[in-house]
Amino acid sequence: MTPLLAARAITVRYGSLAALDGVDLRIDHGQRHALIGPNGAGKTTLLNVIAGATRPGGGRVWLAGREVTRRGPAARARRGIGRIHQRPAVWSTLSVTENVQVAALPQALRPGRWRPGAARSAARRTADTLLDRVGLTDLAGRPAGELAHGQRRQLEIAMALAGRPRLLLLDEPAAGLSATEVGRLVDFLRELPRAVAVLLVEHRLDLVYALCDTVTVLRDGRTLAAGTPDEIRGSELVRRAYAEGVT
């Protein structure tokens, strides 16, 4: 079966530093996959390559069987890649509901919706549903710039889902969240429809093991290990890498 995402021999260099050196990655439809590794391992760089924000020096990327290596982030988003950034990226001067509406518009602008305002109405309906799901309905009219960090994270999740992703890239979604917020986040991610595959970059291994079916460990831009959470948990190699590299 064609994987949802396939990345082969991905190489990214910054001068003499190899941020990624021939990394392979495969994610099937609906799979929950985690990328872990010490700081500087290349996790976010790989996420950038998959999202189209960084063009690799070598290697190729396929999404649902179609090569997207030379496609930019917008084209990949339209083909089903949603992303949540390390720092929640929201449009600060827009209201909470407008943020989700803008994120929903590319999907709402479907052929057949030529009536003026039809796309906006569809985006508004999507925003209402998603804000209710992430618990931000009461703040719908507030400027997004006034939200607290955890609320911004919730908003960004709603924005990512508004694009109806087939693959959701989560870059340290728990960073800066309180224990309660992390619990809510885990529940929310568990409830995501199985049609949405997840690629999670996270330092908190408890979260990784709770959410993911498979794990890839990166170190110094190379794949150190890959397997199920149990296999990774039991790997001496991974334990040593973490003992040396994680801060």
Partner 1 sequence: MRDELIRPLRGVVAAVVLAGLVVAPWTVDDYTAAILARTLALGLVGVSVALLTGVAGMPTLGQTAPYAAGAYACAVVGGSVSDVGVVQLAVAAAAGAALAALTVPLVVSARGVVVLMITLAIGELVVTVLGRWRSFTGGTDGLAGIAPVRPFWGLPVLAGDRARYVYTLVVVAVVVGALLLVLRTRVGLVLRAGRDDEARLRASGHRVAGQLAGVHIAAGAIAGAAGSLLVVAQQYISPADFSFDTSALLLLGVVIGGTASVGGALVGATLVIASRDWLFGILPGQAPLVLGALFVATVYLLPGGGRRRPRLRGRPQPGRPGPGPALRTGPDPAARTEVRT
Counting contacts by CB under 8 A, is residue 87 touching partner 1?
Answer: yes
Position among 11, 86, 137, 235 found at the interface with partner 1 (CB under 8 A): 86
Contact pick of 31, 45, 154, 216 for partner 1 (by CB under 8 A): 45
Selected binder of partner 1 within 7, 103, 200, 208 (CB under 8 A): 103
Is residue 176 at the binding interface for partner 1, with CB under 8 A as the rule? yes
- Take residue 241 and report the two structure tokens written for it: 């890498």
| CB half-sphere exposure, 102, CA atoms < 13 A | 13
Is residue 242 close enough to count as binding partner 1 by CB under 8 A?
no
Rounded alpha-carbon distances, angstroms, from residue 61 to 53, 97, 110, 218, 226: 13, 33, 26, 18, 19
Contact segment (CB under 8 A) with partner 1 among 63-71, 75-83, 130-138, 234-242 equals 75-83
Interface with partner 1, residue 183, by CB under 8 A: no
Residue 68 binds partner 1, judged by CB under 8 A: no
Across the beta sheet with 197-201, the strand order is 81-84, 167-171, 197-201, 32-36, 214-219, 222-227
* Cα 97 to Cα 140: distance, rounded to the nearest angstrom: 5
- 190-219: which residues touch partner 1 (CB under 8 A)? none
Cβ-based neighbours of 51, under 8 Å, separated by 6 or more: 73, 76, 77, 81, 83, 169
- Cα separation of 2 and 32, whole Å? 16
Q: Is 18 near partner 1 (CB under 8 A)?
A: no
From 1-9, 23-31, 92-100, 182-190, give the range in contact with partner 1 by CB under 8 A: 92-100
Residue 72 touching partner 1 (CB under 8 A): yes
Under the binding rule (CB under 8 A), the answer on residue 73 touching partner 1 is yes
Q: Which stretch binds partner 1 (CB under 8 A): 62-70, 72-80, 132-140, 182-190?
A: 72-80
| CB 96, CB 142: distance < 8 Å | yes
Query: Do the Cβ atoms of 139 and 146 come closer than 8 Å?
Result: no
> Which residues make up the interface to partner 1 (CB under 8 A)?
19, 39-45, 47-48, 51, 53-55, 72-75, 77-78, 83, 85-94, 98-99, 101-103, 105-107, 116-117, 119-120, 123, 145, 149, 152, 159, 162-163, 172, 175-176
